[in-house]
Structure 1
């Protein structure tokens, strides 16, 4: 066997080993409120029973759901470094304030140099570097967002939540929309799930809502402030159009944001109820179907 043949065979072995070591993970990023233990990627107590299929190699990226997006974002980046670098790739699911958490990380750090990690986290949720190997940004296939709060909530504007809570200050509509460049997703698609079973705060939240987040936010409508958007059968405000189509009235969505699920039947509200319920339910079903 000559040297060239041995070299080809050796390269084949190396490529096979690299492919065998590649792993896909599904990361779940929570919203407002307490839940799972920070750093414990197997603690799904925020969402519901861990036995539910929620995508391949599912991991709960737990942050405290109380402090500001900026102060907690390092926890998200630790998880992305752990599971979405090197030969590993990630599917991302977010809920409520988890949506701007992910958007903030991508816009501000998605073009930064990241150390490739070993996907073996310590108790704090931090993984060790693999030598000195680095890469730009993270390996992410797509992001799905249920009740996405990247447009803020009028409940925060109206003081319906505890105003001393740092996250509540972030959740004001004008504050959240100015926090980062929502159009800069590093080319990744955000698939949005907008719930419409809203009754309790219908006088505060414009258009259709899930009792916490209005369609202008969960539907990723662009701009510096919220507006009233509804399902097609409702004549009293502009339609939230599906996918990346410009909404009725001429206002577009943020770049790479796709309304994947619009709650035309007004069936889903905001709340998980410790059992993967509310608007998270159709997203979890899609993560089971597509994140594999």
Structure 2
């Protein structure tokens, strides 16, 4: 009888462990911030929290002002909380959030992470489960709208205040040298590139969304920005869909694929705290695939 009871208890523990496994969708903001740091249910940066934005959506908030290195711990806390143990994550980023997520994966994606219980305290840190650890995080994919991992020429030109630490990180040469963009630990980045530029877009090479050019939002590799455009533009090479090289032969970073190119020049950079711009295109895709 004791053996039978012991077996039942072990089986019940296993079933409970399986039942507790969950998928989460993490949203990593860009410049300007807005969400409450440590509160993973604060979606002020993005828009109404009632919006369908993937299964068990959580906001991995950081201040959007200080340097990527200084703020990266806030994002790693969220990744530890929801993307370890039996839990898996989908990740969506906007603008500098792409740089933030790429930095986290390249520098910490191969590190030892304690398995967490997905119950954060007020500071956004979760408790340990059984004290065991794993290598890196359980991430199904990353989707990035208006990704700024390649930097922005607006930062180069001083269009933003240069006293802002993040602006220094967003210089094209700095952002591209900050970490090895080819190191993603087999996590794929799916890129959404907007092209509704404006009058001052001459600062940005090729097609742009008013803030980042296609070379960044399209994950073009290299040490500096390049001229990439929509098909039919006679003055620069095409940004191609998929993970293959662009017209003219320029490569994309490893495990990066362009899934949306704004051929109609309809979407700008600005989320406007209401799931707008190219973020809206990505949100619809996340809602349909982060299940």
Shorter-normalised TM-score: what interval?
A: over 0.9
In 2, the alpha carbon distance for the partners of 1:238 and 1:44 equals 37
CA distance in 1, matches of 2:249, 2:14: 49
Render the CA deviation track for 1:58-80: whole Å, top value 9, x for unaligned.
00111000000000000010000
Residues 247 and 130 of structure 1: CA distance in aligned 2, closer, same or farther (over 3 Å) = same
Per-residue deviation at 1:5?
9.9
Q: Which residue of the partner structure matches residue 208 of structure 2?
A: 209
Q: Which residue of 1 aligns with 2:174?
A: 175
**Per-residue displacement from partner, 1:174-217 (whole Å, max 9, x unpaired)?**
00000000000000100000000011321100000000000000
In the superposition, the TM-score normalised over structure 2's length comes to 0.96
- Structure-1 separation of matches of 2:213 and 2:4: 63
SS in 2 for 1:210: coil
Partner of 1:40: 39
> What is the alpha-carbon distance in structure 2 between the residues aligned to residue 185 and residue 133 of structure 1?
23
Between the aligned partners of 1:58 and 1:12, the Cα distance in structure 2 is 31
The equivalent residue for 2:162 is: 163
- Aligned CA distance change for structure 1 residues 10 and 217 (closer, same or farther; 3 Å): same
Mapping for residues 118-197 of structure 1, pairs under 5 Å: 118-197=117-196
- 1:218-240 Cα distance to aligned partner (Å, 9 max, x none): 00000000011000121110000
Aligned to 2:224: 225
Q: Within 1, Cα distance between the matches of 2:2 and 2:244?
A: 57
The residue aligned with 2:17 is 18
Alignment of 1:234 onto 2:229: no
Distance across 1 between alignment mates of 2:5 and 2:242: 51
TM-score using structure 1 length:
0.96
* Separation (CA, whole Å) in 2 of partners of 1:119 and 1:196: 37
Separation (CA, whole Å) in 1 of partners of 2:22 and 2:196? 37
Aligned to 1:291: 290
Matched position secondary structure for 2:284:
helix
1:245 has 2:240 as partner = no
2:6 and 2:254 mapped to 1: Cα distance?
Answer: 45
Taking the aligned partners of 1:195 and 1:20, their CA distance within structure 2 comes to 40
Deviation of 1:241 (Å): 0.4
Deviates more, 1:141-150 or 1:7-16: 7-16
Alpha-carbon distance in 2 for matches of 1:216, 1:179: 16
- The CA RMSD measured in Å over matched residues stands at 1.7
1:85 aligns with 84
CA apart distance, 1:12: 5.5
Q: Deviations over 1:8-38 (max 9, x none)?
A: 8777555433221101100000000031110
Distance 1:200 1:118 in 2: 49
CA-to-aligned-CA distance 1:75-110 (integer Å, 9 cap, x gap): 010000011111111000000000010000000000
1: CA distance, partners of 2:18 / 2:199 = 51
Any stretches of 5+ residues in structure 2 without a counterpart? none
CA deviation map 1:35-67 (0-9, x unaligned): 111001111010111110000000011100000
